[in-house]
Amino acid sequence: MKRKWLSLALGAILSMSVSLAACSNSAPTQAPQAEPAKPAEQPAPSAAQKTGSDTLVVAITSDQGTLDPAVTMDNSAWKITYPTYERLVEYDGASTEAKPGLAREWSVSPDGLQWTFQLEEGHTFADGTPVTAEAVKFTFDRILKIKKGPSEVYSVIKEVKVESPTKVTFVLTNNFPPFLSTLAANYGGIVNPKVKEKEQNGDLGQGFLAGNTMGSGPYQLSEYKKGEYFKLTVNPHYKKQPAIKTVYFKITPDPTAQRLQLEQGEVDIAEGIPVEQLKSLKDSAQGIELIQKPSLFVDYVYINTSKGNPALQNPKVRQALSYAVDYEGLTDAVQEGYATQMRGPIPQGLWGHDDNAFQYKHDVEKAKALLAEAGVSNLTLDLLYSDNKPWWETEALSLQAFFAEIGVKVNLKKIAYATSREMIDKGEFDLCLGVWSPDFGDPYMFMNYWFDSKNFGLAGNRAFYKNDKVDSLIRRAATVNDQAERTKLYQEAQKIVIEEAPYIYLYQKDFLLPVSKNLKGFVYNPMLEGIYNVQDMSK
């Protein structure tokens, strides 16, 4: 009888498997993209799982959403797509200024409304199709038609005109100086117009590009095993063949597992190791190097200046909070000292930053005095944060302690990331932790997003801060072409927003990456946070 039961169970399992197989036959899941010479490059399995010298393995923490450059707004998906596409202009090396890419040269009309690009010949998509002006037009028309995240950035485009197969002109609705930098971002990646053949139900190829790439970059996505890895192989038509032939982005959610794999040489780069472990990792393990560079990634606190606790409408209270923070202690506790206190909203390393701007210092007496001046006592505030950044918990606890010293009681509210976004958008908080990193190298990314009263909520002005003077200064700065004048305007606006303190400007995080020592050629570009210049690397 026992046997009967077992056979019953086995039968059930088998029938389930069979039905699954039937389902999977009717709906093919694998990317049908051609994969050149797959068996040849398979090294013999060995006990020691070290990677070969033409293979790079990057441990990433989670699977990615869509890979379509016209849809994704997620930095962590960009690390996979960026090396598979080329853009009209590129960030070269560590520089945050746009350099020639697909475009050999470009010009802009004096009124800033016409940008004309001359394409360099000889760039080819992975399937052999040459990159033409038509492809450029197709790419941007597609973004605007799809109307997802990236279309917002390019909403300034009125029309893309093909002048000749190698010449293309963008007509803008208004002068927008940062336009050039936006073209170097991931969403500026030129897509092979042949994606039209992959269209399903009028999705403009979104379904296909979600799990495939069709660009002219040095690599192409040749295999995507959901939940396991992304495998990039070289684009055979790319002019300068890179030394690294195969790149794996291996999904390893657990930080401890990542660290062990890095120590054993199974991966070359591990992204998910918390900052607390990096120091000891560097000290203890041979063969691992810690790359440390200043970044443009900032961590700050939104103070709700209009919809939160009424006391926060008073700039003195906000200043008091800014004085209450022990910035050095905070960066030590939260980032192991791998961070620099911000000096105003524009981070160091980006033009427009003011070395002489005022910087708040830890001064409990002053903070108390300011609170007294404002006539505020027994203040209780809610501090909102989500599980999105692992260090936020420590940060929230530290801030709670700092504010307690000046007599402000803080209740911590930790909520799910998706919920926190909704609450930020609606302004349902007193204080909230946040991070910001620029998509393109222009102070516009900070000043106009953070302070323009048109951008209340998620759009960027998360302090719900309104100051007419600031509005007019930054709006002017966004329409002038002269960088010197823009710098002046932005710096004038900065003075006000530092003084009025709608945010607590905490710190600029260092970029930290543990990599295997035999990996050479990695260059960090602050505009390309988390993106690797794989084509320049070697082992």
Partner 1 sequence: MSTALAEASVRRRTVNPFWYKLKKNPLALLGAGILAVILLLSLAAPLLSSYDPTKINIIERFAPPSAKHWFGTDEVGRDIFTRILYGARLSLGVGAAVVLTAGCIGTVIGAISGYVGGRVDQLIMRVMDMVLAFPSLVLAMAVAATLGPNLLNAMLAIAIVKIPVYVRLARAETLAVREKLFVQAAVTFGIPGWRIIGTHILPNVVSPVIIQVSLDIGDAVLAVATLGFLGLGAQPPTPEWGAMISVGWKYFLDYWWYPAFPGLFLFLASCGFNLIGDGVRDILDPKAAR
Partner 2 sequence: MKQLIAKRLSLVVFVLFGVTLLTFLLSHVIPGDPAQMMVGQRANEETLREVRHQLGLDQPIWVQYFTYLKGLLAGDFGLSIRTQKPVIDDLLTFFPATFELVFFAFLLALIVGIPIGILSAVRKDTGWDHAGRIFSIAGVSTPVFWSGLVGILLCYKILGILPSGGRLDLNVAAPTKITGLYVLDSILTGNWAALKNSLWHLILPTIVLSYAQLAVISRQVRASMLEVLGQEYIRTALANGISGAVLLFRYALRNALIPTVTVVGLSFGSLLGGAVVTETIFGWPGMGKYVVDSIAFLDFPAIMGFTFIIAVGYVVINLLVDLTYYLLNPQIRQ
| Residues 412-451 within binding reach of partner 1 (CB under 8 A) | 412-416, 418-419
Please provide the DSSP assignment of 393-449 as one string.
Answer: HHHHHHHHHHHHHTT-EEEEEEE-HHHHHHHHHHT--SEEEEEE--SSSSTHHHHHH
Output the smallest distance, CB 397 to partner 1, in A: 5
The count of C-alpha atoms lying within 13 angstroms of the C-alpha of 325, restricted to the half-sphere facing its C-beta, is 26
Please provide the DSSP assignment of 43-60 as one string.
Answer: PPP-SS-PPPTTEEEEEE
Output the smallest distance, CB 290 to partner 1, in A: 14
Stretch that binds partner 1, among 176-184, 338-346, 396-404, 483-491 (CB under 8 A): 396-404
Q: Please, what sign has the CA dihedral across residues 140, 141, 142, 146?
A: positive
Considering CB distances under 5 to 8 angstroms, the limit depending on partner class, which of partner 2, partner 1, none binds residue 57?
A: partner 2
Query: Considering the rule CB under 8 A, would residue 261 count as an interface residue with partner 2?
Result: yes
| Residues 40-99 within binding reach of partner 2 (CB under 8 A) | 42-43, 45, 49, 57, 62-63, 65-66, 68, 71, 73-74
Query: Helix (H, G, I), strand (E, B), or coil: what is residue 178?
Result: coil
Residues 311 and 317 sit within 8 Å (Cβ to Cβ): yes
| Residues 318-347 within binding reach of partner 2 (CB under 8 A) | none
**Residue reference for tokens 């053949």:** 197
Query: Helix (H, G, I), strand (E, B), or coil: what is residue 535?
Result: helix
Task: For residues 104 and 120, give the distance between their C-alpha atoms in angstroms, rounded to a whole number.
Answer: 5
Task: For residues 410 and 219, give the distance between their C-alpha atoms in angstroms, rounded to a whole number.
Answer: 50
Q: Which is nearer to partner 2, 263 or 354 (CB)?
A: 263
| Residues 448-477 within binding reach of partner 2 (CB under 8 A) | 449, 455, 458-460
Query: Considering the rule CB under 8 A, would residue 93 count as an interface residue with partner 1?
Result: no
| Residues 176-215 within binding reach of partner 2 (CB under 8 A) | 206-207, 210-211
Query: Considering the rule CB under 8 A, would residue 396 count as an interface residue with partner 1?
Result: yes
* Residue 439 vs residues 153, 170, 224, 307, 344: alpha-carbon distances, Å: 10, 20, 26, 28, 19
| Residues 113-172 within binding reach of partner 1 (CB under 8 A) | none
Q: Which is nearer to partner 1, 418 or 484 (CB)?
A: 418
Task: For residues 528 and 130, give the distance between their C-alpha atoms in angstroms, rounded to a whole number.
Answer: 26
**Residue reference for tokens 């809610």:** 382
Q: Of residues 74, 228, 276, 536, which one binds partner 1 by CB under 8 A?
A: 276
Query: Considering the rule CB under 8 A, would residue 274 count as an interface residue with partner 1?
Result: yes
Task: For residues 200 and 119, give the distance between their C-alpha atoms in angstroms, rounded to a whole number.
Answer: 31
The count of other CB atoms within 10 Å of the CB of residue 287 is 11
| Residues 15-34 within binding reach of partner 2 (CB under 8 A) | 16-18, 20-21, 23-24, 27, 29-30
DSSP letter at 538 equals B
| Residues 371-390 within binding reach of partner 1 (CB under 8 A) | 387, 390
Q: Which is nearer to partner 1, 163 or 387 (CB)?
A: 387
The count of other CB atoms within 10 Å of the CB of residue 531 is 19
How many chain residues touch partner 1 (CB under 8 A)?
A: 27
* Residue 370 vs residues 6, 325, 328, 365: alpha-carbon distances, Å: 76, 14, 22, 9
How many chain residues touch partner 2 (CB under 8 A)?
A: 75
**Residue reference for tokens 């932005």:** 490
| Residues 21-80 within binding reach of partner 1 (CB under 8 A) | none
Q: Which is nearer to partner 2, 287 or 329 (CB)?
A: 287
Q: Of residues 36, 173, 417, 482, which one binds partner 2 by CB under 8 A?
A: 417
| Residues 233-252 within binding reach of partner 2 (CB under 8 A) | 248, 250-252
Classify the phi-psi angles of 265: left when phi > 0, otherwise alpha if psi is within -120 to 50, otherwise beta: left
| Residues 133-152 within binding reach of partner 2 (CB under 8 A) | 147-149, 151-152
Residues that bind partner 1 (CB under 8 A): 255-256, 259-260, 274, 276-277, 280, 329, 332-333, 387, 390, 393-394, 396-398, 400-401, 412-416, 418-419
